[in-house]
Amino acid sequence: QVQLVQSGAEVKKPGASVKISCKTSEYLFVKSFLHWVRQAPGQGLEWMGIINPINPSGRTTVYAQKFQGRVSMTSDTSTNTVYMEMDNLRSEDTAVYYCARSYSTYDKFDYWGQGTLVTVSS
Amino acid sequence: EIVLTQSPGTLSLSPGDAATLSCRASQSVTRTFLAWYQQKPGQGPRLLIYGASTRATGTPDRFSGSGSGTDFILTISRLEPEDFAVYYCQQHVEYPYTFGQGTKLEIK
């Protein structure tokens, strides 16, 4: 069974950083591209970017313009885990953050993690 | 970026009814790159339809997708209680990938 397992909920103060993890199997890690999508309370889905887990600094790692410079996606091949770090958090960043998998770059998202709630509050 | 506009925002129907959900793109999207997702309260999205009309594994055949260019439709032929949820369309042909704002299908 395909699984993307995300880290637990976080509570952060404005201006802080958060780092969320998404762990998968070795097979999927090398056969996937992973995306980060967020969903503010009661709102829709917002794509943040895509990472190639086995070549995270390559051309196939792309950030949505809105998040460039504030979000960093990385991977750890030893643990089959990808990470999304967001700096300078604001209250508007309060959301559930999902990782999602696609087989290739321009492909549908066939599996999703369970989501990680990030709450930004003073 | 490609803007996807879904209508209606909310659809109130009864079990057994048929549902028609619309997704309109601000520019043409090749069918291959149009997907539909279902999201139930407290859960993450689940892939329902991809390539505009291909059912994902586990999607019942009462769900069907159609359309091309800028206009796409998700049809549920006969609503079951478990179908009441929020539905999103998505384009994955061009960065940034975008989703429609969602259609909430609620029990009348």
Whether the predicted pLDDT of B106 surpasses 80: yes
Whether the predicted pLDDT of A8 surpasses 90: yes
Chain B closest CA to A122's CA: distance in Å?
A: 25
Adjacent-strand bridge partners of B35: B90
| Contact flag A108-B50 (C-beta cutoff 8 Å) | yes
CA distance A84 to A88: 14
Closest alpha carbon to A48 in A109, A119, A114: A109
From chain A, the residues in CB contact with B99 under 8 A are: 44-47
The residue in chain A having the minimum alpha-carbon distance to the alpha carbon of residue B41 is A42
pLDDT tens by residue, B22-59:
999 999 999 999 999 999 999 999 999 999 999 999 99
| Contact flag A108-B101 (C-beta cutoff 8 Å) | no
Whether the predicted pLDDT of A1 surpasses 70: no
SS3 A91: helix
SS3 B14: coil
pLDDT mean over A45-71: 94
pLDDT mean over A60-83: 95
From chain A, the residues in CB contact with B56 under 8 A are: 108, 110
Report DSSP letters for B17-57, one per residue. --EEEEEEESS---GGGEEEEEE-TTS--EEEEETTTEEPT
Q: Answer with the residue of higher pLDDT: A57 or B78.
A: B78
pLDDT mean over A11-29: 95
Whether the predicted pLDDT of A34 surpasses 70: yes
| Contact flag A106-B98 (C-beta cutoff 8 Å) | no
Residue A64 — pLDDT band, cuts 50, 70, 90?
very high
SS3 A19: strand
**For chain A, where are the E strands, in sequence order?**
5-6, 10-12, 18-23, 33-39, 46-51, 62-63, 71-76, 81-86, 95-102, 111-112, 116-120
